[in-house]
Amino acid sequence: MDVKDNQQQAFPGDVHPTASGGILVSKLDDVINWARSNSLWPLVFGTSCCAIEMMSTASAKYDWSRFGFEVARATPRQADVIIIAGTIVNKMAPVLKRLYDQMADPKYVIAMGACATSGGPFFYNTYSVVKGADHVIPVDVYVAGCPPRPEALLHALITLQAKIKAGDKREKIVIEKFVDSN
Q: Where are the domains of the chain?
A: 39-164
**Partner residues linked to 116 by β-bridges:** none
Helices (H), the chain: 3-10, 28-37, 50-57, 93-102, 114-118, 150-166
Q: For the domain 39-164, what is the CATH code?
A: 3.40.50.12280
- Average pLDDT (25-33) is 75
* C-alpha to C-alpha distance for 110 and 153, rounded to whole angstroms: 9
Q: Are 98 and 45 in contact (CB under 8 A)?
A: no
The pLDDT of residue 176 is above 50:
no
Give the model's pLDDT for residue 98: 92
- Average pLDDT (155-159) is 88
Sign of the Cα torsion 99, 60, 68, 114 reads negative
According to DSSP, residue 176 is labeled P
For residue 9, the Cα-to-chain-centroid distance in whole angstroms is 20
Give the model's pLDDT for residue 94: 92
pTM, 2 dp: 0.77
- Average pLDDT (153-166) is 86
| pLDDT tens readout for residues 36-81 | 777 788 888 888 888 888 888 888 788 887 877 877 778 888 888 8
